[in-house]
Amino acid sequence: MEILRGFQFELLCCAAKMTSTKPDRTAWFKGGTASCQETLASGAHAYRMVLLGAPGVGKGTQAELISERLGPCQLSTGDVFRAAKTLDPSERTPALSAALEYMKRGELVPDETVIGIVRERPNCLRCPAGFLLDGFPRTVQQAEALAKMLGDLGVNLDAVLSYDLPIDQIVSRLSGRRTCGGCKAVYHVATKPPKVVDVCDQCGGKLILREDDRPEAIRVRMEAYAKSTAPLAEYYRQRGLLISIAANGSPEEIYRRTAVALAAR
Ligand code: AMP
């Protein structure tokens, strides 16, 4: 058994060298009937997972690593809202415009709005390459709605990865985070600085401190997280889906822990 797990783990790590491409997220950003070109190498497992963790634990970075290495598309509800921000107000649906107001204040968007936005994207939930939900669900009500949507589509979740980190480390990570206004790449002033201060290495765009990463908004987000999101871990633990992962250390160390945990399932 141990030998088999070791083999599975090596496969999960090696996948990094074989496939290091960013999956196409057209369907996630456009919604409705939009589709994308996602396929998975033959014989590869299509992972269908949810990522949990307070803002700033490095969940987004792990989502990118898992997505690039194991193939599932990163479906971040926060990214949908941030993309909506760049649209002309006349192009936004009323639900998206309302959601942006909550987001600006660092508050959670109401459950029905977020659930509606995910429900409008069934092609992503039944994607043959799998999916990695990042930032959704955030409340038990959202988790129940997701279970219903997946049940209707005949899709099962493989696992819920919960990244855990003490709060003081979270605040230090968040206030140093910088996001590219153009391509949305994420940096950190201390742990992942760009080559030129405030300039994106990938597209030359200007790096910004996200409105919801400002200290006042961080405090509100942490309160919202503790109140609404923490019970989710319990919800998924009871269903035998939860995998807890210590989120200290470098992104590679955390990814290895993730790969070990997935191989052990
Ligand atoms: P994130 O990038 O996941 O930290 O999300 C950024 C912001 O988008 C959050 O602070 C919320 O305002 C909003 N948001 C994203 N996903 C959700 C969700 N599942 N439920 C409620 N609000 C959300």
All domains of the chain in start order, with CATH: 2-165+251-263 (3.40.50)
Q: Is 30 a catalytic residue?
A: no
Q: Are strands 73-76 and 159-164 parallel, antiparallel or unpaired?
A: unpaired
| Averaged pLDDT, 103-110 | 86
Residue 6 has pLDDT above 60, yes or no: no
135 Cα–ligand 1 center, Å: 6
Lowest mean pLDDT among 12-21, 109-118, 132-141, 175-184: 12-21
146 lines ligand 1 (CB under 6 A): no
CB 222 within 8 A of CB 170: yes
Lowest mean pLDDT among 23-32, 79-88, 252-261: 23-32
Distance between CA atoms of 51 and 127, rounded to whole angstroms? 17
Which residues are 50's β-sheet partners?
Answer: 133, 160
Where does residue 86 rank: exposed (0-12), middle (13-18), buried (19+ CB within 10 A)? exposed
141 lines ligand 1 (CB under 6 A): no
Residue 220 has pLDDT above 50, yes or no: yes
Residue 18 has pLDDT above 50, yes or no: no
Q: What is the pLDDT of residue 9?
A: 54
Lowest mean pLDDT among 59-73, 165-179, 241-255: 165-179
Q: Catalytic residue among 48, 177, 178, 257, which?
A: 177
241 Cα–ligand 1 center, Å: 22
Rounded mean pLDDT of the chain?
86
78 lines ligand 1 (CB under 6 A): yes
- Which residues make Cβ contacts (< 8 Å) with residue 147, sequence separation at least 6? none
| Residue 10 CA, distance from chain mean position | 24
Distance between CA atoms of 248 and 75, rounded to whole angstroms? 23
The DSSP result for 96-144, as a single string, is HHHHHHHHHTTPPPPHHHHHHHHHT-HHHHT-TT-EEEES---SHHHHH
Q: Is 257 a catalytic residue?
A: no
Helix, strand, coil % in the chain, rounded to nearest 5: 50, 15, 35
74 lines ligand 1 (CB under 6 A): no
Q: Are strands 207-208 and 177-180 parallel, antiparallel or unpaired?
A: antiparallel
Q: Is 206 a catalytic residue?
A: no
What amino acid is encoded at 12 in this protein?
L
Residue 20 has pLDDT above 50, yes or no: no
